[in-house]
Structure 1
């Protein structure tokens, strides 16, 4: 057996008792046989991670930084192999796959740097009446075992956003990758193994989240759960986690406002990129565009024209822009949403058809705010375009959502930019760019149903540590 057919528990590759076949989303090619971890194997994985906490805590900042630097170098060594894994297991076009690996390398480099920056602060106890002749300071300590449950859409980089900060802070991790993208999780374990990670610090268990999730979330030895995925699963994790720390990134239906612009073509190009990159399967994909009345028709015409130039097809081809959704069920769901919009009076300005496993890039106008394509998270290549008269209407349109991850605003007026920054109900406001903008050292996380907690290496490292206070009486 190879690593793709084995679990990674206590520093060893281990066979499963049951297996399921992993298929390519694009052409249903058989990729690998994936072990389904048993309850006993999950328990042993947690046992091992728990036993390794002392070892990880004892590593110096330099040793943790060196380890993570080695991991970044490992991804550089295997960059094309990792990109090809993405092409196969989640149908990510090869151009986008290579981009994800570059970001993964950068994320681990940020984590290596952050490992050296973890420090506390002096507390001026003598500022209090009873604090004379006392010295106080804080220090950051690792939490212990962290359960990381990762999604299919960026399986290398979003795993890096959990593992990098966790190890930078001195924790151990039990990783549960998405069922459709286990090969990336197992490849990540291989790279950590080559980098010299202490035995037991990382476990990778594969299988169905419905069967394994509760074992991770409810175990008292797990001190934090970090999850990226659906709202329903995120809420269930929060309810079951008890007093554990929980970080949830649960997606969005991100809006962008196009108000005043100097280069409309450049704005259109960015909106097409934000809406249709990786077939819209991005938590901050552009889903709702609000365009000032006087720009609306010109913007829409150019948006359609630019979308027409996108290449649809095999993710392995160098020129492919849009390929299959992650599963037949997802493509059928999204097709039903598009059909619902059309039946309810919306206009399909472009696309709207299903080609096997692929949904065409789709632009919808005249869509009521209550339709699924507006109100829910599409997580596919569908975008709605809506005109507005006043800037207040545009802000209200973006805020009219159960989600609030990021929003974009294109404006040449500084007052409107600051107004949007103050009034938009989201975790990140991106001025003069699309909400899909993200670099890996920025704080990232939303409000409302978009989740709780912040990712971004520095911010995740803080979430994954505990502040201890120390006082000396002199």
Structure 2
């Protein structure tokens, strides 16, 4: 099998080591990636630092056109890229195709935002001491960005770091997850077609144990990390003087109230508790249902979960595929077993076959059980009755996480109350918390992270405000 090169300062390169990527469903080899040496990593960082000034000075049309080119090429090669995502990640091909489409949109949004991302003017003569003065406020990149990305969305979560960096004129070094580097390497191929300056981007599939040197390097003043909380906060503690953005985990709750459309809620919750085998930070994990409709809803939900098609991710009919590894599946299974030992009842699923865990519904789960209090990152949801809105919202907030929440209601008053009271970064009314539009601000509170993604929000995170004051003007 051909060894895929990595991207060093915009050029393909090979190192002395190789990384074999396997399909988690059946163990077949999905691809082989070359791994850079320490000297090559140093070359990439040095190139990013050397290019920083020229990158920041790139005309808007150059950055925007490069981003638009990538968006077009992602669409043109969408099926090929979807097959790569499915093979390396185990994601059902249906969802992999959706991820490619989202990544193309992310680059398109970035191209559009690049053309709109201008400075603002502020009159200062609101006080006598500043008469004749005007402020021009622009945003300038902090410098090169280190983007550390996870396995669950191996293309689109890379896009959410790379596209905003290029949009603001910041070189970017991508360190993809070792389990899923192939999508990021292909994205590097598309970026290389744009004619961006050498040093503007590198894709370095180094082992996790070697990432610390990149995190520590003072020439990379921005660290943008998506992944687990312990790793993210360890990075923040390690480099407290850097600008660190963290997109971390959650145990997202969906609230189903008396006035909800139960069929719609059951179908959406069933699907989006399991759509990436539960390996999404905003996958539905806790389902809080008004007591008045709990029996009817529980029946509909279990039926909807049982109807999901679980199996080979290469099959277009498959809705739920494997987890990223057998080890991940074993951990999820052990959490289910612990909950059952503590008194929980399995209403659906609860079994494992290799890396695949059957979509699982649990009831009667103690709130301290891992499947309720922690992030499962697997196809498991916990079903609980609540007395009403007050208790539902209290339980949503009774978590150290706060990424997104969904509230199924037709009441405008309750919708605004949810927005005011729920301690999360995003509230979705009438749908699951798993909804994310790639242009909207996305991120959490509490232990779900720091900073925001969504193209324009990330562009703000990667830049700082700079003020120029003009004096002696006739205003």
Q: Give the TM-score, by structure 1 length.
A: 0.97
Structure 2 Cα separation of the partners of residues 61 and 273 of structure 1:
41
Of 219, 222, 240, the match for 2:220: 222
Q: Helix, strand or coil for the counterpart of 2:335?
A: helix
Show structure 1 runs of 4+ deviating over 3 A: none
Cα displacement string for residues 176-204 of structure 1 (whole angstroms, at most 9, x for unaligned residues): 00111100110000011123322221101
Of 246, 249, 252, the match for 1:248: 246
Task: Give the aligned partner of residue 51 of structure 2.
Answer: 52
- Compute the displacement of 1:49 (Å): 1.0
Task: Give the aligned partner of residue 25 of structure 1.
Answer: 24
Structure 1 Cα separation of the partners of residues 80 and 32 of structure 2:
19
Of 310, 313, 319, the match for 2:311: 313
Aligned residue pair count: 472
- Compute the displacement of 1:451 (Å): 0.1
Matches within 5 A, 1:8-407: 8-212=7-211, 214-407=212-405
Structure 2 Cα separation of the partners of residues 104 and 398 of structure 1:
30
Which stretch has the larger CA shift, 84-93 or 216-225?
Answer: 216-225
Structure 2 Cα separation of the partners of residues 147 and 421 of structure 1:
33
Structure 2 Cα separation of the partners of residues 13 and 163 of structure 1:
18
- Compute the displacement of 1:261 (Å): 3.2
- Compute the displacement of 1:393 (Å): 0.6
Structure 2 Cα separation of the partners of residues 306 and 365 of structure 1:
16
Cα displacement string for residues 241-295 of structure 1 (whole angstroms, at most 9, x for unaligned residues): 2322111000100001100335211111111121010111111000000000011
Q: Helix, strand or coil for the counterpart of 1:41?
A: helix
Task: Give the aligned partner of residue 451 of structure 1.
Answer: 449
- Compute the displacement of 1:350 (Å): 0.5
Which stretch has the larger CA shift, 159-168 or 9-18?
Answer: 9-18
RMSD: 1.3
Q: Helix, strand or coil for the counterpart of 1:290?
A: strand
- Compute the displacement of 1:150 (Å): 0.6
Structure 1 Cα separation of the partners of residues 30 and 105 of structure 2:
28
1:39·1:215 contact (CA, 8 Å) conserved in 2? no
Structure 2 Cα separation of the partners of residues 413 and 313 of structure 1:
39
Distance 1:275 1:367, change over 3 A: same
1:247·1:451 contact (CA, 8 Å) conserved in 2? yes
Structure 1 Cα separation of the partners of residues 6 and 65 of structure 2:
26
Structure 2 Cα separation of the partners of residues 26 and 313 of structure 1:
8
- Compute the displacement of 1:308 (Å): 1.2
Q: Helix, strand or coil for the counterpart of 2:361?
A: strand
Cα displacement string for residues 400-437 of structure 1 (whole angstroms, at most 9, x for unaligned residues): 11100000111122222222111111000111111001
Q: Helix, strand or coil for the counterpart of 1:276?
A: coil
Q: Helix, strand or coil for the counterpart of 1:222?
A: coil
1:68·1:109 contact (CA, 8 Å) conserved in 2? yes
Structure 1 Cα separation of the partners of residues 430 and 29 of structure 2:
43
2:346·2:361 contact (CA, 8 Å) conserved in 1? yes
Q: Helix, strand or coil for the counterpart of 2:274?
A: helix
1:74·1:195 contact (CA, 8 Å) conserved in 2? no
- Compute the displacement of 1:108 (Å): 0.5
Cα displacement string for residues 140-160 of structure 1 (whole angstroms, at most 9, x for unaligned residues): 112220000011111111111
Cα displacement string for residues 29-62 of structure 1 (whole angstroms, at most 9, x for unaligned residues): 1223333333222211111111222332222111
Structure 1 Cα separation of the partners of residues 189 and 111 of structure 2:
18
Structure 2 Cα separation of the partners of residues 262 and 465 of structure 1:
42
Structure 1 Cα separation of the partners of residues 135 and 390 of structure 2:
49
Gaps of 5+ in 1: none
Q: Helix, strand or coil for the counterpart of 2:305?
A: helix
Of 456, 461, 464, the match for 2:462: 464
Structure 1 Cα separation of the partners of residues 421 and 47 of structure 2:
47
Structure 2 Cα separation of the partners of residues 347 and 77 of structure 1:
48
1:260·1:413 contact (CA, 8 Å) conserved in 2? no
Structure 2 Cα separation of the partners of residues 385 and 169 of structure 1:
44
Gaps of 5+ in 2: none
Structure 1 Cα separation of the partners of residues 10 and 121 of structure 2:
39
2:260·2:408 contact (CA, 8 Å) conserved in 1? no
Structure 1 Cα separation of the partners of residues 221 and 282 of structure 2:
28
